[in-house]
Structure 1
Amino acid sequence: MGGEREREAQGGGPRALETGFDFRQYIEHHGLKRSEGTVLRYLSEAYKALAQTVPEDHRTEAVRDLEEWLGETVRQVDSSPIDEWEKLRNPEEEPTVSDDSAGLDRPDVTHNARAFRIMVRNEVFRWVQLLSRRRLDDHEALAEVPTVDDTRRTVDDVTAAIAPYWEEHSMLPTDSYARGGAFFVLDDSSGIGTARWPVVQTIADPEGHHEWVIEGQVDVEASREAGRAVVRLGAIRRL
């Protein structure tokens, strides 16, 4: 593996979280198919390091989020490295299996509520990043996202939807402030037995108007089957 690919593999956890990629998207985007095992190993080691070495008084919400996300991301690809490690740490503890995992070839991704929420948030913020760059290929990627009503969205549809935003603003922020929890709302109150969960991402425009939103729906059953957050794109609009 070349030096650049080695760095991409080692940086898989933080970079995937920052960019909104899930494991498969990260592998594909960086051309790491032949290094998939290496990336998974680094993610596993990062999870173990967070779980075992970070003192309790340093375990911020951000650290806990990263730990949960890393653990669940690894489990959805291959749970054995973490399962074996946790069994060694807690030999008397019996592994728990969700009833909702019946018939699945992996753990139910919706069962870990905290990690799944992060996955949803990552996917929705990826939409913000795609819109922010104003590139045709990014609009094409967004047009390929499944829609809430199963209609096909075109590149022109995406461009037309966000065009009024660019008439009002010179940039579409994607920094840590724009990614903040205040701009993300997921209504999962109906529970995993419900087919769809509404989600809204507010765009943190530089003027602070916060009048533009991206709406979507989490497809719960599709997420369970895919082992990742499947979020359907709804409207891109001004309130």
Structure 2
Amino acid sequence: DLFETHHPWVGQDSIRPKSIAREMWEGFLSFEDYVRRYGLARMEGVLLRYLSQVHSTLAHDLPETARNDEVLETIAFFRALLARVDSSLVEEWESLVNPQAAPVEPTDSGVPDRAPRRLDRRSFNARARAELHQLVLALSKRDFEAAAACVANEDWDPARFETALAPLFAGQAEVRADPEARKGHWTRIEERGELGFDLVQTLVDDTGEGGFQIEATVDLAEPRLPAGPMLRIQAIRE
């Protein structure tokens, strides 16, 4: 009620800020999905700042004993989501809140500034799956611009994604991004050297079959997770 008094534009809507992150996580909603659902185009910076704070709280304030696989998957989901959204929105909001502050980008899952000696494989696997699933979500909507924003290599632009998926969509098949399509057996992560990995994500169509696959690599420069997308697509083929 106090919030509504100072923000009359909310009208009769039920405002529960803590439920935003939960709704996005449970509904596997992208940033754009949530903005469109609630007409938040004029408040993208506020939403992005909030999601950045959610991620930071989960990544840095939870004790290690509370970091089970589901928590790591949740942290990775928000980190992958933030990694592909225009960082200028975060910087714009930061400048409004604190004009003297330097731009701040969301950081990774509890990794200290000093590079660790070994890569946290549980966090890496969760992050890799989350980035692959963000890519699958974009492809399921045929949003090739969003797909290009999910990967690190610039040679995979929207046109290349569209061309690669054309044979799949030509057969009137759809790419699923539901919980079944995100189950663990559709994702394969294989270690290649100390900091190199080969990834394969099977795309599940509307019949429940997995025909096409995304082949990607990750090559880390050091044993910590990067700020932006880390997937480098090698091929998408049947």
Sort the TM-score into its range (normalised by shorter chain).
Answer: 0.5 to 0.7
Alignment of 1:93-104 (within 5 A): none
Q: 1:172 offset after TM fit, Å? A: 1.4
Report the CA distance shift for 1:7/1:235 in structure 2 as closer, same or farther (over 3 A). Answer: farther
TM-score using structure 1 length: 0.60
- The answer for the alignment partner of 1:140 in structure 2 is 145
Distance 1:177 1:159 in 2: 24
The answer to whether residue 202 in structure 2 is matched with residue 202 in structure 1 is yes
Q: 1:185 offset after TM fit, Å? A: 0.3
Kindly indicate whether the alpha-carbon contact (under 8 Å) linking 2:73 and 2:126 is maintained by their aligned counterparts in 1. yes
1:130-181 Cα shifts (integer Å, max 9, x gaps):
11102xxx2113234223xxx6233221111101111224321111110011
Task: Figure out how many residues of one structure are paired with residues of the other and give that number.
Answer: 190
Alignment of 1:101-140 (within 5 A): 105=113, 108=116, 111-134=119-142, 138-140=143-145
Distance 2:44 2:223 in 1: 23
**Match 1:161 to one of 125, 146, 164:** 164
Report the CA distance shift for 1:198/1:140 in structure 2 as closer, same or farther (over 3 A). Answer: same
Report the CA distance shift for 1:198/1:226 in structure 2 as closer, same or farther (over 3 A). Answer: same
- The answer for the alignment partner of 1:215 in structure 2 is 215
Report the CA distance shift for 1:8/1:174 in structure 2 as closer, same or farther (over 3 A). Answer: farther
Report the CA distance shift for 1:186/1:14 in structure 2 as closer, same or farther (over 3 A). Answer: farther
- The answer for the alignment partner of 1:91 in structure 2 is none
Kindly indicate whether the alpha-carbon contact (under 8 Å) linking 2:25 and 2:74 is maintained by their aligned counterparts in 1. no
Alignment of 1:40-189 (within 5 A): 40=55, 43=58, 47=62, 51=66, 64-69=68-73, 76=107, 79=110, 105=113, 108=116, 111-134=119-142, 138-144=143-149, 145-147=151-153, 152-188=155-191
Provide the identity percentage. 24
The answer to whether residue 21 in structure 2 is matched with residue 12 in structure 1 is yes
Q: What 5-or-longer segments of structure 2 have no aligned partner?
A: 32-42, 80-105
State the secondary structure of the residue aligned to 2:204: coil
State the secondary structure of the residue aligned to 1:212: strand
Report the CA distance shift for 1:143/1:160 in structure 2 as closer, same or farther (over 3 A). Answer: same
Kindly indicate whether the alpha-carbon contact (under 8 Å) linking 2:138 and 2:147 is maintained by their aligned counterparts in 1. yes
Report the CA distance shift for 1:7/1:203 in structure 2 as closer, same or farther (over 3 A). Answer: farther
Report the CA distance shift for 1:35/1:232 in structure 2 as closer, same or farther (over 3 A). Answer: same
State the secondary structure of the residue aligned to 1:178: helix
Distance 2:190 2:118 in 1: 14
Kindly indicate whether the alpha-carbon contact (under 8 Å) linking 2:131 and 2:229 is maintained by their aligned counterparts in 1. yes
TM-score using structure 2 length: 0.60
Kindly indicate whether the alpha-carbon contact (under 8 Å) linking 1:223 and 1:229 is maintained by their aligned counterparts in 2. no
State the secondary structure of the residue aligned to 2:221: helix
Kindly indicate whether the alpha-carbon contact (under 8 Å) linking 2:212 and 2:236 is maintained by their aligned counterparts in 1. yes
State the secondary structure of the residue aligned to 1:198: strand
Q: 1:76 offset after TM fit, Å? A: 4.0
State the secondary structure of the residue aligned to 1:236: strand
Letter of the 1:226 counterpart:
P
Q: 1:209 offset after TM fit, Å? A: 3.5
State the secondary structure of the residue aligned to 1:191: coil
State the secondary structure of the residue aligned to 1:221: coil
Kindly indicate whether the alpha-carbon contact (under 8 Å) linking 1:44 and 1:70 is maintained by their aligned counterparts in 2. no
Distance 2:198 2:132 in 1: 12
Q: 1:231 offset after TM fit, Å? A: 1.2
Letter of the 1:152 counterpart:
D
